[in-house]
Amino acid sequence: MIFEKGTKQNPTGNLILYCNVIGENPVQPGGRIIASNVVVSFLKLGDNFPVVTFPPVALPSMDELKKLIDVNLESYDIARLPDFELPENKEEANRYIQDQMERFNQVVMRYVEFCKSKEKKPHSDIDKDITGVEGYIEALANLSMEFRKSTGLAKEATQMKVDRIVTKFSSNHPQYDLDNFKKALDFPGNQGDELVGLYLKKFNAISVENYEVASNLKRKIEAIETTESSF
């Protein structure tokens, strides 16, 4: 299994497996691609992770596969399997198909193990790859977009991620105004988007010691926050 998107260290639980077909396609004649979707639920039952493996589909080309997954591309891990080439001899072909099915099942089991390993990681391990101020700012930029677009339980889960990053960031770099940044995340509408962006730009300016730019950004931030508090 070769990951083309995603990693075994941080699986999404939603895997697209595909392979190129050389010669006859047993799923559907003429198909150049065989693809399947494997979904692993993190709502585990005891130590068991529920898994759904959808039946393989045949597609005429890679372009067709790309069209199908493009809308929800960010939700998927994508892995390529070795090319599928069916022998001409019937007996050999049957054995080959059985071997490929066994290999497919092994790949699914490996992916489930990746998901289990992720679930066992403490939060400190998940966040340990963040290094330096630039890393923290990038993480907060990504999480702030996710937070402002999400609702309900998803929003609460993202808030927990933000809190962890902010706690770690502020303990290492207390000079950054992270408490007010967190408040800005709840600021409504387009002005809220602008406000969050200004805070991130200010943090970047401070990190490279461009204090004049940071001061100008601070004034813009205060102007928006003052306008909102006057209503």
How large a percentage of the chain has pLDDT more than 90? 58
Q: What is the 3-state secondary structure (H, E, C) of 61-82?
A: CHHHHHHHHHCCHHHCEEEECC
Is it the case that residue 68 has pLDDT exceeding 80?
A: yes
CA distances from 1 to 102, 111, 132, 145 (A): 13, 9, 33, 32
Choosing from 70, 104, 120, the residue where a domain stops is 120
Mean pLDDT of 22-37: 92
Distance CA 99, CA 94 (A): 9
* pLDDT top residue among 156 and 22: 22
Mean pLDDT of 49-78: 91
Tokens 């999480």 map to which residue?
A: 143
Q: Containing H/E element for 21? A: strand 14-22
Within 10 angstroms of residue 116's Cβ, the number of other Cβ atoms is: 16
- My answer on whether 135 and 114 are in the same domain is no
Domain that holds residue 24: 2-120
DSSP conformation class of 199: H
Is it the case that residue 62 has pLDDT exceeding 80?
A: yes
Of 36, 38, 60, 40, nearest in space to 50 by CA? 40
Choosing from 120, 151, 180, the residue where a domain stops is 120
- My answer on whether 146 and 54 are in the same domain is no
Beta strand segments in 99-186, E? none
- My answer on whether 85 and 133 are in the same domain is no
- My answer on whether 175 and 160 are in the same domain is yes
Choosing from 70, 87, 120, the residue where a domain stops is 120
pLDDT score of 105: 94
CB within 8 Å of 39: residues ≥ 6 apart: 13, 14, 15, 51, 52, 53, 54
How high does pLDDT run on average in the chain? 88
- My answer on whether 11 and 114 are in the same domain is yes
Dmax (CA) of the chain: 81
pLDDT score of 157: 79
The pair of structure tokens assigned to 146 is 């996710």
pLDDT score of 223: 92
The pair of structure tokens assigned to 19 is 């392979």
Question: For the segment 111-136, what is each residue's pLDDT rounded down to a tens digit?
Answer: 999 998 887 665 544 455 677 888 99
Question: For the segment 41-61, what is each residue's pLDDT rounded down to a tens digit?
Answer: 988 878 788 999 999 999 999
The predicted model scores a pTM of 0.58
Question: For the segment 183-198, what is each residue's pLDDT rounded down to a tens digit?
Answer: 999 998 898 999 999 9
pLDDT score of 179: 92
- My answer on whether 169 and 148 are in the same domain is yes
Q: With bands split at pLDDT 50, 70 and 90, how would you rate the model's confidence at 86?
A: very high
Mean pLDDT of 83-96: 94
**Backbone dihedral angles phi then psi of residue 176, each to the nearest 5 degrees:** -95, 140
